[in-house]
Structure 1
Amino acid sequence: VPLDLTRPLASVTLTGPTGTLLAEAAPAGAAVARGLLAGAGLLASEQLGLAEWCLTETVRHTRERHQFNRPVGSFQALKHRMAQLWLEVVSARAAARNAADALATGSPDAPLAVAVAQAHCSRTAVHAAEECVQLHGGIGMTWEHPAHLYLKRAKADALVYGTAGRHQETVAELMELPAP
């Protein structure tokens, strides 16, 4: 059973398969690496969209929800949380767009741009989804609201092409920074 129910898993059973060699090990490995790099770069854009939806939905909800005869979003503590999240989303947008541009133009810096985007967008998507669930209160974890689905998607996306920590290690390797 997958964490993200919107992405079902499948089992494939091959019986007596025959095949044709398409490429030798080195070119095949390079093609797979390029595909994984493109996938990670595209996933950063999905994570950005997820974070943007969560922020927009949270702001909308806190404007409409009233407590003590005031909109919940007018409380200073919640304003600060949403402002911090907005800053993270803006930074994630810059990282995701940079990665997409680097991939589209075939830039030699694409591996670095994708690693930076994944390291940042992954954490931003999870944080945005967590804040969305928390600031929606009890309804955020019910089937009546999709916030919990976005949290599950963000958590699953954070693992697909490697964790944020693994992408940070990649940035360190590409920039020739010594490990602590």
Structure 2
Amino acid sequence: MAGQFLPGIADGTTVATVALVEDDRGWSVDGLRTVAVPDRDTWVLTGHKTYVLDGHTADLLLVVASEESGPSLFAVAADAPGLTRRPLQTIDLTRKQAALSLDGVPARRLGPARAAMESALRSAIIALAAEQVGGAQRCLDMSVEYAKLRVQFGRPIGSFQAIKHRCADMLLSIERARSAVYHATQAADQEADELLTVASLAKALCSEVYLQAAADTIQIHGGIGFTWEHDAHLYFRRAQSTQAMFGSPDYHRELVATQLLG
């Protein structure tokens, strides 16, 4: 049944997004308060979702809701009656998110959600970790370039030991994070037993490395780094946002601890 949506999603004519998170729940299908009940040939959803990427502009909403047989995935049209979409004010202005209110919204059931969402989240956190490494690398590149050009006390600031050490620490942290992403990507490609563990560890590490790199970039740039005219604040905002997305570092380390301790 889900196959009817794939061609449009693949060719870009249909923008789809997933609605999982609720106000008082994490990135899990357990304990959902959004419920689905059958209504003749369709289903009706009632509940609330938040932090939905592009939720206010997407053409197709894939909503995870609880029904009698467990958590399931439902397709909801953007113009469905009873659906209210509200853009959220977030720290990252370049990645839009929205809150959804579902009041008796008609939907089409696509199937059980647990296995599908667990697989999708594993892939998503690895992809996001790779994005974080790329963002951190860009922060380092901007910092090194600026340190060569900015002159203070008659010499480029890159010649000062404090700046050298900060850039060197950024490089080492980024390479460590990059290796974690490579390992997680390989585990995903091979469907290794350790996939869940290494994916969570990569997300936790890359989140912290990106945020520190973005903060260091602002420090190296000095006054200009705090202004709207420079891109440094965009990377800092994205680093803050991605750290929370799909679970914080503490959340993922707790997942790993739970897995290892049984």
TM (norm. structure 2) is 0.63
Percent of aligned positions that are identical: 39
The TM-score, its normalising length taken from structure 1, stands at 0.90
Question: Which consecutive unaligned segments of at least 5 residues does structure 2 have?
Answer: 1-88
Segments of 5+ residues of structure 1 without an aligned counterpart are none
Q: 1:139 aligns with which of 202, 211, 224?
A: 224
RMSD: 1.6
AA partner of residue 9 (structure 1) = Q
Of stretches 121-130 and 73-82 in structure 1, the one that deviates more from structure 2 is 73-82
TM alignment of 1:99-118, pairs within 5 A: 99-118=184-203
Give the alignment of 1:21-170 within 5 angstroms.
Answer: 21-24=109-112, 28-170=113-255
Write the deviation string for residues 102-157 of structure 1: whole angstroms up to 9, x where unpaired.
Answer: 12222221101111101110000000000001110111121211000100000000
CA shift at 1:18, angstroms?
A: 2.3
* Counterpart-to-counterpart distance in 2, 1:11 and 1:22: 22
Count of equivalent residues: 174
1 CA distance for matches of 2:189 and 2:140?
A: 28
Structure in which a larger fraction of residues adopt helix: 1
- 3-state SS, counterpart of residue 23 of structure 1: strand
Q: Report the CA distance between 1:92 and its aligned residue.
A: 0.3
Return the letter of the residue paired with 2:149. E
- RCO higher in structure (CA 8 A, sep ≥6): 1
Q: What's the CA shift for 1:13?
A: 5.5
1:57-80 CA-to-partner distances (Å, cap 9, x unmatched) read 101100110111111011011111
Helix, strand or coil at the partner of 1:20 = strand
Which residue does the alignment assign to 2:50? none
CA distance in 1, matches of 2:119, 2:191: 11
Aligned equivalent of 1:5: 93
CA distance in 1, matches of 2:99, 2:240: 22
Moved more, 99-108 or 154-163: 99-108
Partner amino acid for 2:148? R
